[in-house]
Structure 1
């Protein structure tokens, strides 16, 4: 496990360490902050889905159910890090993030609960952004001002990289395709009150 130098940045642990913890019987609470659709596609067995937007909205209510044994999970680690920062700001420091997220977990050959296949949110962002840029460049051959749409998308992607946020990803997460089964705070709190994993 790695401890973060910045107190606002959660500590991390890798897939092998998490797997050892789960197999040893000292299982931490696993909180997956991806969309319900992503969670339904594949998740670490025993994890609880608390989408990032729901976590941000109800972090005060969640504080009583989480502790330093909690591991935050997403696809790659970015959204889980954001969740850890949000919870630390709400007075719950010490949470850990799975380095590389579910992608690293799967790459390590660890078990996953699989469901209906869907494209990852990051892949959807690449498709939409790339399509808009390609389309606007092609249209700009006949209508030159269209090139500014490509520039706007490029600027948005640059800002997303610098700020570690993605407005397009947040918008795509709200589409019915990505929503999956409805996740509400009452269900989440009931699951968390029932104990770990």
Structure 2
């Protein structure tokens, strides 16, 4: 059975009545901001979720990941009532409901990839115009890397960024 979509106020009422709120985002996203009391079970390991004892409400950042994986999430709960928080944590925050934010945690890895990739592409273009066209190759290299990441699901830049010192706190958490 496909999970039913809930608005943040209805989700909050269900949680107050004993429903379990499950954050399917990766650990680095959850560490930076999460809904208090939410259990972090990243989507990659959702099939190993313990049998629920009551209703489950799944959420992500914007609601798109949960909606795209609704059938997979429904399978993980083995027939227990399941719901999706419409709009995710973004909608929860917009409604003025509490979130726990830890700004000391690094930005999510994918946001770091977007910032670094965008910066390298821009640098390659600027240097290509101002100095020598060989720097356009930097933009092409980053574009090719992003295409490989999209096609295979493996991102070399994310792997490298994950190992940098400022991201080690999230690995240990």
Contact 2:121 2:142 in 1 (8 A): yes
User: Which one of 43, 67, 90 corresponds to residue 81 of structure 1?
Assistant: 67
1:124 aligns with 2:108: no
Distance in 2 of aligned mates of 1:75 and 1:140: 37
Unaligned runs of 5+ in 2: none
1:75-154 paired onto structure 2 within 5 Å: 75-88=61-74, 92=78, 95-118=82-105, 119-121=107-109, 123-141=111-129, 142=132, 143=134, 144-149=136-141, 151-152=143-144
Distance in 1 of aligned mates of 2:18 and 2:171: 26
User: Which one of 10, 28, 36 corresponds to residue 27 of structure 2?
Assistant: 36
TM-score (norm 2): 0.68
Distance in 2 of aligned mates of 1:117 and 1:100: 25
Q: Cα RMSD (Å) of the superposition?
A: 3.9
TM-score (norm 1): 0.61
Distance 1:85 1:106, change over 3 A: same
- Please identify the structure whose Cα radius of gyration is greater: 2
Q: How many matched pairs?
A: 164
Q: Which has the higher contact order (CA 8 A, sep 6+)?
A: 1
Distance in 2 of aligned mates of 1:87 and 1:106: 23
C-alpha deviation, 1:156, in angstroms: 6.8
1:153-172 paired onto structure 2 within 5 Å: 168=155, 171=158
Unaligned runs of 5+ in 1: 1-6, 184-197
